[in-house]
Chains A and B, each alone.
Chain A
Amino acid sequence: MAPRFLVMVILALPAAAAAPPTAAAEVKAVFLYNFTKFVDWPPESFPAPRSPIVIGVLGSDPFGAVLDQAVAGETVNGRPLEIRRFANLADLEPCHILFISASQEKHVPVILRRLDRTGTLTVADMAGFAARGGAIEFRIEDGRMRFEISREAVDRAGLRVSSRLLNLASTVRPRSP
């Protein structure tokens, strides 16, 4: 376990060097991982029954090794978890969850448009991300990490989110009538 962990740390080094992870980044990484347990993706989004759930990070990576650690060796519903990092929209490949880094703020409308109806759960910690059409937006409330879920965005992505997750959300943006 330890050598493998070391390898992953080394692979993640350039991103980590760019922005050292904070306690908030750590919590976000765990949340990203936990979202996989409360979201049902359509079966056609997986090429095979054992295909991994892919968590993508677009733009500059705020997590470093923390995200890799959070998902290392874990499986959800029998599927392994995979972290992929994309520098810009041009590199983007299909993901199940995509964390859009704050560095991509100005590209958000393009990104969202690009991901429309692709079965991708979009997550970001930019203020007003949910209002702009993102699915989940991290925010700090009373010094604690909380999140807002946009049911409309989730529906449009073709995903089903557990009511228990909705229950935990600080704000739920209702479906469009």
Chain B
Amino acid sequence: MRRRFAGLKLGTKLLLVITGTSVLALSLACAGFIVYEIAAFRARAGRDMDLRAAMLAAGGAPALAFSDEKDAMKTLALLRADPHAASAQFYAGDGSLFASFVREGAREVPPPRPASDGHVFSWERQTTASGVYLAGRRIGTVVLTRDLGEMRRSLAAVLSISFVLLLGSSLAALAIAARLQRVISEPILDLTRAAEAIAERGDYSSRVAARGGDELGVLVAAFNEMLAQIQRREAALRDSRQRLALLVESAPLGVIVWDLDFRVLEWNPAAERIFGYPPGEARGKEGTFILSGRVWTAQARAVWEDLLARRGGARFTNENVAKDGRSIICEWYNTPLVGAGNKVIAVASMVDDVTERKRAQDELRSLTDQLERRVAERTAELLALNKELETFCYSVSHDLRAPLRAINGFSSLLLANYSGRLEPEGKAYLARTAAAARRMSEIIDDLLDLSRVTRTAMKPVPVDLGALARDVAAQLQAREPERRVEVVIDECAPVLGDPNLLRLLLENLLSNAWKFTSRTAAPRVEVRARREAGRAVYSVRDNGAGFDPAYADKLFKPFTRLHTEAEFAGTGVGLATAARIIERHGGRIWAEGAVGRGAAFHFILPEP
């Protein structure tokens, strides 16, 4: 029933509702009226019968008291005047029938006695029972019966009038509803037609004609506004989708979208260029089709599972196979597409063919490796050669000392024992021979020092450079007691180094300073310590002859001399030895100076 109503057309529903409501209301009104009518009749009839019963009781009481049926009958016979009275009985105190009056034509003779006082209504009649009292004592019962034919007739009249009224007003309600329902259903039907047109043709440009300002009017306006919004949004969506499609179409990278079963959903032209499959062929295929047989194992499955589980992309390079069987190296950037509820709805991949780049990189790497190998080889060769040279140099220097000592010794003997026999010119030659031999000995000593620096094993310990410098300066002063040189030495923080080599370093630098201040009026030598950029920098400075800064780099090369032997004696090995010591300690040394304005040698050593 409910479902059948739900399936009806709107107009029919409204018609049914309006008509149904008015018929129901009218029926209720009629029913109420009838019920009221019956109740009112009963109340009236009740009062009526009570009165009659009271009169009969009063009249019949003495007859009952003295068991006088005739007199009781006389009293009952008064009812003949009442056309509705059907019968009347007196019952004695013990419940036995005492006197009875029944109108001619009544059905039951006599009607049964009610169990209690009061009124009983049936369709046919009303029965009233009431007590008969004498001097306050109940001595019997009077029962009156009244035919309700009059009430039935009036009820039938009311019913037929109600029915006619109901029928008439139902028809009127139907007629009015048929006209009124259009006011409501027409706009809704318009809306329905418009909605159907949209559903069938997707035409969002249609509009529903506006109506009055009631809720339906508002609904129509809202519907139209909604259509306009949908139209705008659809256009925007179309544009956006088009842009997106163009982006995917024209992207230089391959764009592939996978469903959750690792099957191709989207495949752009760049992907076709890379793998050789046109989109139509690729779509729906499982991803294994572009994987090289060597790769697609449980490992690839693990990568896929990991990708579904993660949030954010993963980048890796992989070997793939193209349609024509070529093996290609591809760089992949894979991202799970996470939709609402943090659920992965697809996976997007961007792919680039990096086979050529990879090949170029590999080539470059192999060339670099080759080059490095060659450099290493050459360096090793050079180192070996250098070692050989040094050994050679050492042995030569060492071996030269013996003959030199002979020259020196014998020329001294000659000069001591045979000077009287020699011409002055010969003595002079001999003296020069001895001096040359001595000088050669110095050179050899220095060369041996230099090679020792390179060859000896280092034992680094903390060393106090200041104390070492004072010791060396005292030795120099002792060697030339007549010279007056102002020496200033700073307190120095300990450095890490080999004590013997560091002494040799200071001997070289300080003797240098000592030597080049020999012609200065007020000679002064300083050993300074300062911190620069977090590191300790030591300087040995003098106010001596100085040097041309253009040659600052050459100073540290062996046998380099910027002054003649006549000006300052020297072998040209000292600074080279100093530089070699600093080098072996992993430090750095550099020179600073100008001609006639002194020189400074700065160095950095490792600290403990």
Chain A residues near B (Cβ < 8 Å): 27, 31, 34, 36-38, 74, 76-77, 144-147, 162, 164-165, 167-168
Contact = CB atoms under 8 A, between A and B. Distances in A.
A167 B71 contact: yes
Interface string B40-70: 0000000000000000000001110111100
B62 A165 contact: yes
Contacts of B201: none
A37 B67 contact: no
Given A34-B65, A37-B135, A162-B62, 19 more contacts: A27-B67, A31-B66, A34-B134, A37-B65, A74-B137, A76-B135, A77-B135, A144-B67, A145-B67, A147-B66, A164-B62, A165-B62, A167-B62, A167-B71, A168-B62, A168-B63, A168-B66, A168-B68, A168-B71
Contacts of A164: 61-62
B499 to A, nearest CB: 151
Nearest to B62: A164
A147 B134 CA distance: 19
Interface in B133-157: 134-135, 137
8 contacts: A36-B135, A38-B62, A76-B135, A146-B68, A167-B62, A168-B63, A168-B68, A168-B71
Among A27, A37, A77, A144: residue with most chain B CB under 10 A: A37
Nearest to B139: A34
A70 to B, nearest CB: 12
A31 B67 CA distance: 9
Contacts of A144: 67
Contacts of B62: 38, 162, 164-165, 167-168
Contacts of B66: 31, 34, 147, 168
Nearest to A76: B135
A172 B26 CA distance: 68
Interface string B248-284: 0000000000000000000000000000000000000
Contacts of B137: 74
Interface residues of B, number: 11
Nearest to A163: B62
Nearest to B137: A74
B71 A37 contact: no
Among B65, B66, B67, B137: residue with most chain A CB under 10 A: B66
Contacts of B61: 164
Contacts of B134: 34, 37
Nearest to B69: A144
Contacts of A34: 65-66, 134
Interface in B522-543: none
Interface of B: 61-63, 65-68, 71, 134-135, 137
Nearest to A142: B70
Shortest 6 CB-CB contacts between residues of A and residues of B: A37-B135, A34-B65, A164-B62, A168-B66, A76-B135, A168-B68
A32 to B, nearest CB: 11
Contacts of B65: 34, 37
A80 B63 CA distance: 23
A162 B68 CA distance: 16
Among B61, B134, B135: residue with most chain A CB under 10 A: B135
B78 to A, nearest CB: 14
A77 to B, nearest CB: 7
A75 to B, nearest CB: 8
A77 B68 CA distance: 23
B94 to A, nearest CB: 12
B76 to A, nearest CB: 15
A76 to B, nearest CB: 5
Contacts of A27: 67
Nearest to A36: B135
Contacts of A36: 135
Nearest to A144: B67
Contacts of A37: 65, 134-135
A41 to B, nearest CB: 14
A103 B134 CA distance: 33
B316 to A, nearest CB: 118
A90 B61 CA distance: 38
B248 to A, nearest CB: 115
A168 B68 CA distance: 7
B247 to A, nearest CB: 116
B65 to A, nearest CB: 4
A66 B66 CA distance: 16
A160 to B, nearest CB: 15
B154 to A, nearest CB: 39
A31 B63 CA distance: 11
A1 to B, nearest CB: 16
A121 to B, nearest CB: 15
A36 B65 CA distance: 11
Contacts of A76: 135
A131 to B, nearest CB: 21
Contacts of A167: 62, 71
Contacts of B68: 146, 168
A56 to B, nearest CB: 20
Contacts of A162: 62
A18 to B, nearest CB: 27
A106 B62 CA distance: 33
A31 B135 CA distance: 14
A146 B69 CA distance: 12
Nearest to A164: B62
A144 B69 CA distance: 10
A132 B209 CA distance: 118
A131 B66 CA distance: 22
A161 to B, nearest CB: 12
Contacts of A74: 137
A146 B70 CA distance: 12
B460 to A, nearest CB: 144
Nearest to B135: A37
Among B63, B68, B137: residue with most chain A CB under 10 A: B68
Nearest to A31: B66
A138 B134 CA distance: 21
Nearest to A27: B67
Nearest to A74: B137
A144 B137 CA distance: 24
A84 B134 CA distance: 24
